[in-house]
Amino acid sequence: MMEDNLWSNVENTEYSSNKELYQNHILEQYKMYVEMADRISSRRNLANIFFLTLNSTILGAIGFLFEKIQLIDPEWLVIFPLLGIISLTVVWWWLLRSYRNLNSAKYKVVGHLEKRLPSSPYWSAEWKELGEGKDLKKYLPLTVLENYVPIVFGLLYIMIGLFIICWMK
């Protein structure tokens, strides 16, 4: 259980006699950990920007090169770049999944840290008010939506590939 692994044994240390020092250190760890969670979100956003830009460029290149497609002989050679592009969308999807799992764990730690603080603005207030991401009428988590973007691009590439292969015959 996460809470069992979170707390160090501080009995018989200077924290035993100095509760104020203990609380100050928890507050500092809390601040640092919230900042780390925010940085993970920023890195995930940068990854999304990178992959969106890359996929937009690829779609633009496909559109630009569409008139040259008749130069490909045999037609099945389209499969190789298609597999490469689809592989990129799979990598993007796995990367988003990893960021989501990492952030979920970080925010659970934030919630446990808030149990030792005077208030719990994220865990007991905001997150509970939003239905903990389970009530889609209250809040649709961004991670749910962003996971569909690579899938949509992947399906689009498959349809383009099938169209090119069928059109060229």
Confidence category of residue 11, pLDDT binned at 50, 70, 90: low
Residue 8 lies in a domain: no
Could you tell me the pTM of the whole model?
Answer: 0.82
pLDDT surpassing 90 at residue 90: yes
Residue 2 lies in a domain: no
Instruction: Specify the higher pLDDT residue, 165 or 49.
Output: 49
Q: Provide the domain count of the chain.
A: 1
Helix (H, G, I), strand (E, B) or coil at 120: coil
Distance between CA atoms of 64 and 140, rounded to whole angstroms?
36
Instruction: Specify the higher pLDDT residue, 69 or 157.
Output: 157
Residue 4 lies in a domain: no
Residue 146 lies in a domain: yes
pLDDT surpassing 90 at residue 13: no
Mean pLDDT of 6-34: 84
Distance between CA atoms of 160 and 89, rounded to whole angstroms?
15
Angle at 25 between CA 38 and CA 9, to 5 degrees: 110
Distance between CA atoms of 105 and 90, rounded to whole angstroms?
23
Mean pLDDT of 109-114: 90
- Total residue count of the chain as it appears in this document: 169
pLDDT of residue 74: 67
Residue 45 lies in a domain: yes
**Which runs of consecutive H residues, i.e. helices, occur in the chain?**
2-6, 14-17, 19-65, 79-114, 127-129, 142-146, 148-168
Task: Print the domain residue range for 113.
Answer: 15-168
Backbone φ and ψ of 127, nearest 5°: -65, -40
Residue 125 lies in a domain: yes
pLDDT of residue 52: 95
Which segment of 11-15, 18-22, 72-76 scores lowest on mean pLDDT?
72-76
pLDDT single digits (tens) 119-151: 888 888 888 888 888 888 888 888 888 999 999
Residue 9 lies in a domain: no
pLDDT single digits (tens) 37-89: 999 999 999 999 999 999 999 988 888 877 766 666 666 667 788 899 999 99
pLDDT of residue 61: 87
Mean pLDDT of 147-159: 94
Residue 5 lies in a domain: no
